[in-house]
Amino acid sequence: MNWQEVKKIAKERLKPYCRVCPVCNGVVCSGEVPGMGGVGTGSSFRSNIEALNKYKLNLSAIHDVKQPDTSIEIFKQPLSLPVMAAPVTGSTYNMGGAVTEEIYAQEVIAGSLMAGTVGWTGDGADPLMYGSGIEAIKMNNGKGIPIIKPRAQDEIIKRIRQAEDAGAVAVGIDIDGAGLITMALKGQPVSPKSPKEIEEVVKSTKLPFILKGIMTVKEAEIAYNLGISAIVVSNHGGRVLDHTPGVADVLPEITEKLKGKITIIADGGVRSGADVLKLLALGADCVLIGRPVIIAVFGGGREALKLYFETIKNDLKQAMLLTGVGSVKNVSKDILRV
Q: Mean pLDDT over residues 15-31, rounded?
A: 95
At 184 the pLDDT is 75
3-state secondary structure the chain: CCHHHHHHHHHHHCCCCCCCCCCCCCCCCCCCCCCCCCCCCCHHHHHHHHHHHCCEECCCCCCCCCCCECCEEECCEEECCCEEECCCCCHHHHHCCCCCHHHHHHHHHHHHHHCCCCEEECCCCCHHHHHHHHHHHHHCCCCEEEEECCCCHHHHHHHHHHHHHCCCCCEEEEHHHHHCHHHHHCCCCCCCCCHHHHHHHHHCCCCCEEEEEECCHHHHHHHHHCCCCEEEEECHHHCCCCCCCCHHHHHHHHHHHHECCEEEEEECCCCCHHHHHHHHHCCCCEEEECHHHHHHHHHHHHHHHHHHHHHHHHHHHHHHHCCCCCECCCCCHHHEEC
Per-residue pLDDT tens over the stretch 296-332: 999 999 999 999 999 999 999 999 999 999 999 999 9
Q: Mean pLDDT over residues 189-194, rounded?
A: 93
**pLDDT tier, 126 (very low <50, low <70, confident <90, very high otherwise):** confident
Query: Would you say residue 22 has pLDDT above 80?
Result: yes
At 125 the pLDDT is 85
Query: Can you list the domains of the chain with their CATH numbers?
Result: 3-56+72-325+332-337 (3.20.20.70)
Per-residue pLDDT tens over the stretch 232-284: 999 999 999 999 999 999 999 999 999 999 999 999 999 999 999 999 999 99
Q: Mean pLDDT over residues 133-152, rounded?
A: 97
Query: Would you say residue 181 has pLDDT above 80?
Result: no
At 203 the pLDDT is 97
Residues whose CB is less than 8 angstroms from the CB of residue 159 and which lie 6 or more positions away in sequence, other chains included: 123, 130, 146, 148, 151
Region of poorest pLDDT, from 122-126, 197-201, 282-286? 122-126
Query: Would you say residue 202 has pLDDT above 90?
Result: yes
Query: Would you say residue 185 has pLDDT above 80?
Result: no
Q: Which is nearest to 219 in space by CA: 229, 209, 208, 233?
A: 233
Q: Mean pLDDT over residues 116-124, rounded?
A: 97
